[in-house]
Structure formats: C-alpha cells, structure tokens
Amino acid sequence: MKTAITAAHLITPEDWIDSPVVVVEDGHIAAVANRAALEIPAGARHIDLPGLILAPGLIDIHIHGGAGHDVMETNDAALAAIESHMVMHGVTSYLPTTVTAPEDTILSALEHLGKAVKAPRSQHRARALGIHLEGPFISHAKRGVHPPENLRQPSTELLDRFWQASQGTIQMMTIASELPGALETISRGRKLGIRASLGHSNATIEEARAGVAAGASHATHTFNAMRPLDHRDPGILGTVLLDDALTADIIADGIHVDPSVVELFLRAKGEERAILITDAISATGMPEGKYRLGPFVVEVKDGRCDYQGKLAGSVLTLDRAVRNVMSFAGWKLQKAVRLATLNPARLLGVDGERGLLARGRVADMVALTPEGCIRHTILAGEIAGS
C-alpha cells in the first residue's frame, strides 16, 4: 500500500517545498512535490502533519551509547535500547562508535556490531550503517580518556583483523597521522573502503597534510583531543580548518567547544563540509550519576561527562546540536539540518539512499517545528511509536 505524507513545508535540505506531498511505497520515496503538482494517490493511506516541517532523518556518525547502555556491550538488548532512544531525537541511522580497549574486547565488540549492521532493520529503531573505530590508533599525548595501556601503533595487520571481525562493516577509523605506521594504515583502510578521520592527534601541520595525502578525508571532533592552534605552529587544526579536501565534525554542545568557536568552525568549513556529531555515551537520556564508556566509568553532572578530570563524551542529542547551531551561529533551520543529514550521508557515500527527501531514497524523515524540535520520526514511511 502507498502512503502519502503531507505537512506545512519540506526541506531536502537543498530545497524548500511548501505544502508538500511525499508518496512512500515499500519503504522508499516514490514521489515528492508540492500538492499543486502531485495528487495524493487514490487508496493511499494519508498521514497529515499540519504546521510541521519534513526533513531527512538525522545521521550520527559518532555515538557511543545512550539510554544507559554502551555500543560495546555485546548483547542485543543494549543496542535495541540505544537505537530506540536515538529515534526519539530524530536519528534514523548512525555509526556505533568503539573506544580503545584490550584487543580482544574490541574484536568482540566489532563482531557483535558487524552482525547488527548486516541484520535486517528492526522496526522503530535507528539503522546502523557501519562501525566507527575510534582507537586504538591514536596519540598518547591526545588520547583524552582512552586508556593508555591499550593504545596501539597503527598497523595494517591489526586493521585487517578488526576488519575481518566486523565482517567488513567498519566505515570510519579515527587515527593520528603522526604515528609510525599511520600512513600505511590509512592507505590500507582506503583500499578496504574505510574512511580515515584525523583525530586524537598531536600532529604538526605537515604530519596532518601527510595523512590527507595518504587518503584521510575527515576530522574527528574538531578542537577536542587535537594539538592546539598556534599562530606560529598551526598544527593539525591548520589543516582541518583550511583544507577543502577534508570534511570535519564538531560536538556543538557548548561544553566541548565554546559557542563562538563553533561559529568560527562553521565559517571555516562552511555548510558543505561541516558535520554535527554527539559523541554521546550511555548516560544520554539518563539522570545524573555514573555510567560506562567502554571499559571505564564516567561521572555525569550538570551536563558534563568526566573521567579523572577530563571530558569523556557527551550527553548531547543530535536534534539539540542542530538547534545549538541555530542559536550559536544564527543559522536557519534548513542550513543547520544539512550538517546532520546530507553532509554525513555524502561522507559515508550513502547520499543516493539517505540525507535527502527525493525519489528513490529511503523514506526516513523527521517532522520538526520551525525551531527544530522533533515532533515525529518516520522510519521507512512509518511513524515510530505509532
């Protein structure tokens, strides 16, 4: 049966349509246009969302957990809870993100997550598109809360073991390009289809440029766990902010990065190369207290996630990040939404399926207020929770 979804407006986010009709068939968009140009098909089920704005489903490429659970827990119930919580905040697809841990722990997590990526989509839950491997190929100097005893020098052999454990589902890898073996590992990852992201790095500008030359195409949580920008020693940030070959993401919670620096980042990378992430941990959506991030326990208070005096992930949600961009930088909703939809979809090479509301795409979308508040999340044409 066909479903016709109507609302006040639709953003693609490259276009704006008033009084839209989105026709869905078999979980995909069959047609989208203004009501003057597209009639609701006879016999179609009609979902009307008056006063709301339809936009593509949000995509989070860096998330460790939520709803009291961590993605490295190797049980299906934990992942189900995380994915259901994300849907409440408009996230329809994501990359479960690992942390540095003993090798066997990482391998077990990758095996479990790889099976989840390959499994059929579960109803009313966000869809895992692949895995983001954050650690163990990161700098001791900029490791953040990643346990130093489990860090490893980049190695094509170890990357191959991770790849095999994941059943070929690793999509991204955060790596410090200054480490011995990093350039070869970035190159090997590129051949496997893994996007290398510069991060947790103390690289000079030359070492960061070498990473880009080897195949790195992105940067992880810009400013955090990176060599600071200095006017005589620009370091990795000089490359991240200036190189148009790199997309880059940021944690726009106002805690990890000051709002004025978020605005600076957005001016540097622009609306086509900036991406919003949450870096959310198991505490997201939960009361203050102690929660797990991979192998260690983090204390959460006043919106901060701390481990031994260092920030350890966030409790940010991606819809809040979009609204923060509107507040911090004065961006319109249409422009801000792009940073959590089309841009991550293009980075992952899935913009033919996601990130736009257009014919042939998966019918994952959100219904928003003009202020960017989620009212409904729609998965494959079905309102989640209905």
Q: Say how far apart CA 240 and CA 236 lie, in whole Å.
A: 6
Tell me if residue 279 is catalytic. yes
Which tokens in the block code for residue 343? 């841009």
Contact indicator for 352, 359 with CB cutoff of 8 Å: no
Backbone angles phi, psi at 254, to 5 degrees: 80, 0
Of 149, 152, 194, 154, the C-alpha closest to 173 is: 194
Of 190, 187, 247, 189, the C-alpha closest to 222 is: 247
HSE toward the beta carbon, residue 240, CA cutoff 13 A:
33
DSSP structure string for 106-124:
HHHHHHHHHHHHHSPPPTT
Q: At 207, which helix (H) or strand (E)?
A: helix 205-214
Peptide bond into 13 cis (omega under 30): yes
Which tokens in the block code for residue 253? 């919670």
Q: Say how far apart CA 279 and CA 315 lie, in whole Å.
A: 8
Contact indicator for 347, 61 with CB cutoff of 8 Å: yes
Please identify which of the residues 243, 279, 351, 364 carries the catalytic annotation: 279
Beta-bridge partners for 7: 49
Question: Which of the residues are catalytic?
Answer: 279
